[in-house]
Amino acid sequence: MTSRANEILPVLEQDIVTGALKPGTRLDETILAAKFGVSRTPIREALNRLSASGLVEIRPRRGAIVAAISLQDLMNMFEVMADLEALCARLAARRITPAEKTELLAAHVACDALSATDRFDDYYELNLNLHDLIYKASHNAFLEKQVRELRRRLSPHRRLQVRIPGRIGSSSEEHGALVDAIIKGDSALAEKLTRDHVAIQGERFTDFLSTLPSQYLQASA
């Protein structure tokens, strides 16, 4: 995507997942272009990316509209994501190279440096890098492609998660234990820790619900 489309995308994502743009809302390219002070090209690029992540539907003669996403669908995707990432971690613990270990540890140190701050978006980007390194260390290109595709769909919602009070700190602690397990080659522990890290359960489930706009709850009722 162009740089302008990359700037517009997170703004539209945030408006959709927080409910500022409700399901069924038409996203007119001309109006959005005027709002952001750009041509329609970067708007179209951003809308296509949102369509790929499931947040927008592009319909013939109607153009782009905000998609309705049920809470159940969202939870199902998180459940599958937890299993895919857990498999990546298990394989990474078995296959990671010495150079990859060094890179993974450095990525954790970078994340941890922000664990006591409110730099949510910066932390999220560093978090993505850390997980990318784990995918890569699995040395399974097919698995890596599948987990990246699903992560793209969940990315706006996972970005919201890091804004839950205290979540950055606990996330970094979980990363520390996970990175240690992978570096030590403990595949069973790495798998378990990753599943627990990605899955939304118990109190984390309640906290996550609090970040969602009401239409998700209505859509799943």
What are the tens digits of pLDDT across the range 82-126?
999 999 999 999 999 999 999 999 999 999 999 999 998 899 999
Residues 79, 153: one domain? yes
Residue 202 clears pLDDT 60, i.e. is over it: no
Contact 56, 65 (CB under 8 A): yes
Q: Report pLDDT for 45.
A: 94
**Based on the domain organization, do 150 and 79 belong to the same domain?**
yes
Q: For tokens 């302008």, name the residue.
A: 4
Looking at per-residue confidence, does 136 or 69 come out higher?
A: 136
Alpha-carbon distances, residue 60 vs 8, 64, 169 (angstroms): 23, 9, 45
Residue 171 has a pLDDT of 93
Q: Are 131 and 183 members of one domain?
A: yes
- Residue 201: which pLDDT band, with cuts at 50, 70 and 90? low
CATH of the domain at 9: 1.10.10.10
Q: Which of 92, 120, 91 is nearest to 104 (CA)?
A: 92
Higher-pLDDT residue of 49, 108 = 108
Domain carrying residue 27: 3-66
What values do phi and psi take at 220, rounded to 5? -100, 0
Shared-domain flag, residues 114 and 175? yes
Number of domains in the chain: 2
Q: Please state, in angstroms and rounded to a whole number, the distance separating the CA atoms of residues 50 and 58.
A: 10
Residue 92 Cα to chain centre, angstroms: 20
User: For the whole model, what pTM was predicted?
Assistant: 0.77
| 113 and 83 belong to one structural domain | yes
In DSSP terms, 58 is beta-bridged to 64
Look over the chain and give the mean of its residue pLDDT values, rounded to a whole number. Answer: 88
3-state helix, strand, coil in the chain (%, to 5): 75, 5, 25
